[in-house]
Amino acid sequence: MRVIYTDNNATTQVAKPVLDEMIPFYHELYGNPSSMHNFGGQVAKKTAEARQKIAALINADPSEIVLTSCGTESDNTAIRAAITSNPDKKHIVTTRVEHPAVKNLYEHLAKRGYRVTFVPVDRKGILDLDYLYDSLTDDTAVVSVMWANNESGVIFPIEEISREVSDRGIVFHTDAVQAVGKIDIDVKKTGIDMLSFSGHKIHAPKGIGVLYVRKGTKFSPFMIGGHQEKGRRGGTENVPSIIGLGKACELVGEQLEEENTRVRALRDKLETELLKRITDADINGVKDNRLPNTTSIGFGYVEGEAILLMMNEFGICASSGSACTSGSLEPSHVLRAMGVPFTSAHGSIRFSLSVYNTEEEVDYIIEKMPPIIERLREMSPFWKQAQEGKLKN
């Protein structure tokens, strides 16, 4: 069966050139890069080249790159390093819309004596910057604000926030997992101390993550072991994935232009046409200042899970805006933080495109969605009530 994959904020396909570069490092070039012999040494040379490409994507120095096992590990490492380096400070700041990799760590730290500020967003997903700046004190150890939201696609003004925060001598970390490869990032133009991103969101494999640590930033390792990553992360390097990530960083750097032109146009077409053809549908989040590949649309009076099941019949893959991982149908913490009305939050679908999507695929989705929503609304008592209410008004 045909698969139309529009769930790229969840994970991406490993690009073919990425896979091709990785394969020799499983069976032929399997040496340990830390070994003394040339057989391992040639691998070390290749991982060093990959590290250069990874650093180049965000304009960092290769020595500022720490390779980890995933975005989650990078986030955990950064935040824990910041609080370990500032043991007397007991206040930490983040937003209400972070990925669980940051949100749940902050909640964990709140139970262990930290005072936590969760900065709110408005109905459009825009961050309350005054609230953030007003919360900062001499006791603040770290501020962690994501660069772009994985659900709404809304981009936060990280260059400005990072400068404001670091000017006050507070460590600034950003979860840039969704931003890297979609918007231009130059860490040298910012006050960012630490930045996380992940391989599998940019067409590299799962199981490899990056933590940028600005030169001079106090650091302490999360994974204690061997001297790998200059003592900043123990554990034998995941060589094939590092090689793959190097290639992926090179590719997404080259494709940044296409992402912001062709992919953006496909996203805009998908969004505009769906809103034109389906009543009581709304975009979750501000329209400009959004990732070029993402749209989250709330279809009123229907259940996201039911929509996804019917889309699945047509091979269309996307995500709903509910916390389905917990087995509940509660709207996600992101949509709740934005104050999206329940009638719309429950029926929210996130489409996230990539450079591998075609216009023909988008046209297919535009054709299939309206009858899906219509059929579900015919069965929805809430929809019937809403229509009767409208008739009365």
Ligand X SMILES: *Cc1c(COP(=O)(O)O)cnc(C)c1O
Residues within the interface to ligand X (CB under 6 A):
9, 70-72, 99, 101, 146, 150, 175, 177-178, 198, 200-201, 209
CB nearer ligand X, residue 43 or residue 109: 109
Residue with smaller CB distance to ligand X, 100 or 169: 100
C-beta closer to ligand X: residue 5 or 383: 5
For residue 324, indicate whether it is catalytic. Answer: yes
Distance in Å, CB of 285 to ligand X, minimum: 14
* Structure-block tokens of residue 168: 């006050």
Residue (68 or 140) nearer to ligand X, CB: 68
Contact 334, 151 (CB under 8 A): yes
How far apart CA 138 and CA 157 sit, in angstroms, is 23
**Of residues 70, 249, 317, 324, which has the active-site annotation?**
324
Taking the complex as a whole, how short is the minimal distance between the CB of residue 71 and ligand X, in angstroms?
3
C-beta closer to ligand X: residue 175 or 280: 175
- Nearest distance in Å: CB 98, ligand X: 8
For ligand X, the nearest residue by Cβ is 71
Q: Which is nearer to ligand X, 82 or 373 (by Cβ)? A: 82
Q: How many CB atoms lie within 10 A of CB 244?
A: 27
Q: What residues act catalytically?
A: 324
